[in-house]
Amino acid sequence: MEEFGLTSFFDYVVTGNDVVNHKPSAEGINKILARFTLTPDEALMVGDSVADVRASHEAGVKIASVLWDSYSKEKVLQMNADYVFHDVDEFSHWLRGEFGR
């Protein structure tokens, strides 16, 4: 993230080095919720994998599955994601409508 100048876009980052139990465990999501004093219904997980969906379900957080470059698209589609997006434009329009108010 530093190499590409992206660190300023994030207030807090949790990586695999920051947790004992990696995804599909919800430990990383729970760290973020705790850091910002959020309840699960105040957060949205954005991910593209089976592990992302499982972690979000374990944490009780809604999941937006973004599948335009997912290596496990067919499996993710079977997992009851709260929202599913097949391309960047579709996701972007939804974000603007849902959160651009």
Helices 50-59 and 27-35 pack at an angle, to 10 degrees, of 50
Class of domain 7-99: alpha beta
Residue 79: CB atoms within 10 Å? 17
Total-model pTM: 0.89
Tens digits of residue pLDDT in 51-72: 999 999 999 999 999 999 988 9
Tens digits of residue pLDDT in 20-61: 999 999 999 999 999 999 999 999 999 999 999 999 999 999
**Residue 83 DSSP SS3:** strand
For residue 47, report the phi and psi dihedrals to the nearest 5 degrees.
-160, 175
DSSP conformation class of 36: T
